[in-house]
């Protein structure tokens, strides 16, 4: 089943940043409820944009969200101290966003992950920067999967992020990720594939149709998760349909449920 990580509670978004600064719980609660109702499997919580306030902001967001959260949270911060605080507060097994092969981040995150009951997003980034080939993505993914396995995180708890890059900067960026994901899933079929879906369309007009078409292709390659806006009804319908077409929807039950609810229509 394709898992949607709702991306909207992020203080890099102007309205969220203002709501957090004003401690406007109603705005945050309303947004979280809408994401859950739309089908989000995780709610990403990122409080990093207000420099110097991340710890307090994350603490407030968790206190605000948890009483109405029906799905687990994705704890999104590069700071292990913030993640440690957040991990102790959550009530459902969380996702942690994220670790990479960048030495500073890797060295900080591995001790944090020791003994934790969580899922982890593993970014295919190292100190050489963004990947420039499918082989770069695959090599970094394999290293992360193997090192996380040594730390006690089984393959089914690892969500590899191949770092989707805008196709507007290089028309091969879509194929690069597609090829890498197929290779990763062939060797590690239990590993999940996720990523910031809308990155592919950055700089282009009509971004939503680009995103919808891309996710259909990526589901076929083995992508089974995305960090995205679940309030985009058309892309949610596309995902449910693509997931059915690759055999992940027994008896087409999820698709039929979506049709009956009016969420999927031609």
Domains and CATH numbers, the chain: 3-258 (3.20.20.20)
Q: What is the mean pLDDT of the chain?
A: 97
Model pLDDT, residue 24: 98
Residue reference for tokens 């390659």: 221
Q: How far is CA 261 from CA 1, 2, 59, 108, 240, in A?
A: 19, 19, 36, 45, 13
Say how far apart CA 54 and CA 83 lie, in whole Å: 11
Spatial CB neighbours of 39, under 8 Å, sequence gap ≥ 6 = 4, 230, 236, 263
In the predicted structure, residue 7 carries a pLDDT above the cut 90: yes
Q: Is the pLDDT of residue 72 over 90?
A: yes
Q: Locate 192 and state its tokens.
A: 């999940």
Mean of pLDDT values over 226-246: 97
- Residue 32's pLDDT band, with cuts at 50, 70 and 90, is very high
Of 161, 149, 146, 156, the C-alpha closest to 76 is: 161
Q: 159 falls in which pLDDT band (50, 70, 90)?
A: very high
Q: How confident is the model at residue 125 (pLDDT cuts 50, 70, 90)?
A: very high
Q: Which two tokens stand for residue 181?
A: 């994901």
Residue 206, pLDDT score: 97
What pLDDT is stored for residue 187 in this prediction?
98
Q: In the structure, what pLDDT confidence band is assigned to residue 146 with cuts at 50, 70 and 90?
A: very high
Distances from the Cα of 111 to the Cαs of 80, 99, 161, 254, in angstroms?
9, 11, 21, 39
Across residues 8-29, what is the average pLDDT?
A: 98
- Cα separation, 5 vs 143, in Å, equals 24
Model confidence at 147: pLDDT above 90: yes
Cis peptide before 163 (omega within 30 of 0): no
DSSP code string of 51-118: TT-HHHHHHHHHHHHGGG--S-EEEE-S-HHHHHHHHHH-SSPPEEEEE-S-HHHHHHHHHHHTT---
**Mean predicted confidence (pLDDT) in 84-94:** 97
For residue 52, give Cα distances in angstroms to 24, 57, 58, 99: 19, 10, 12, 22
The yes-or-no verdict on residue 175 having pLDDT over 90 is: yes
pLDDT in the model for residue 266: 85
| Cα distances (Å, whole numbers) of residue 98 to 33, 80, 140, 166, 241 | 24, 10, 14, 21, 29
- Give 171's DSSP letter: T
pLDDT > 90: percent of the chain: 100
**In angstroms, rounded to a whole number, what is the distance separating the alpha carbons of residues 113 and 170?**
35
Helix 103-113 to helix 80-89 angle, to the nearest 10 degrees? 30
Q: Could you tell me if residue 203 is left (phi over 0), alpha (psi between -120 and 50 degrees) or otherwise beta?
A: left
pLDDT exceeds cutoff 90 at 179 = yes
Which whole number is the average pLDDT over 200-229? 97
Quick check: 176 pLDDT over 90?
yes
Euclidean distance between CA atoms 101 and 233, whole angstroms: 35
Kindly state the percentage of the chain with pLDDT values over 70.
Answer: 100
């Amino acid at each position: 089943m394709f898992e949607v990580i709702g991306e909207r509670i992020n203080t890099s978004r102007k309205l969220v940043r203002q709501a957090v600064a004003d401690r406007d719980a109603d705005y945050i609660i309303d947004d979280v409820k809408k994401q859950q109702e739309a089908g989000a499997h995780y709610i990403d919580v990122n409080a990093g944009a207000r420099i110097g306030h991340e710890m307090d902001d994350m603490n407030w967001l968790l206190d605000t969200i948890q009483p109405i959260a029906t799905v687990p949270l994705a704890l999104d911060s590069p700071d292990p101290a913030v993640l440690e605080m957040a991990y102790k507060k959550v009530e459902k097994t969380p996702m942690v966003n994220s670790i990479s092969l960048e030495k500073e981040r890797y060295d900080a995150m591995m001790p944090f992950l020791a003994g934790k009951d969580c899922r982890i997003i593993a970014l295919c980034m190292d100190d050489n920067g963004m990947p420039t080939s499918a082989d770069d993505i695959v090599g970094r993914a394999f290293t992360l999967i193997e090192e996380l396995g040594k730390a006690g995180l089984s393959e089914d708890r690892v969500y590899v992020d191949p770092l989707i890059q805008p196709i507007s900067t290089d028309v091969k960026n879509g194929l690069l990720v597609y090829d890498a994901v197929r290779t990763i899933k062939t060797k590690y079929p239990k590993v999940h594939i996720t990523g910031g879906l809308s990155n592919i369309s950055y700089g282009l007009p009509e971004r939503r149709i680009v995103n919808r078409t891309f996710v259909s292709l990526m589901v076929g390659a083995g992508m089974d998760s995305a960090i995205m806006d679940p309030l985009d009804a058309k892309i949610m319908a596309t995902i449910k349909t693509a997931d059915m077409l690759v055999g992940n929807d027994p008896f087409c039950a999820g698709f039929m449920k979506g049709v009956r609810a009016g969420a999927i229509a031609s």
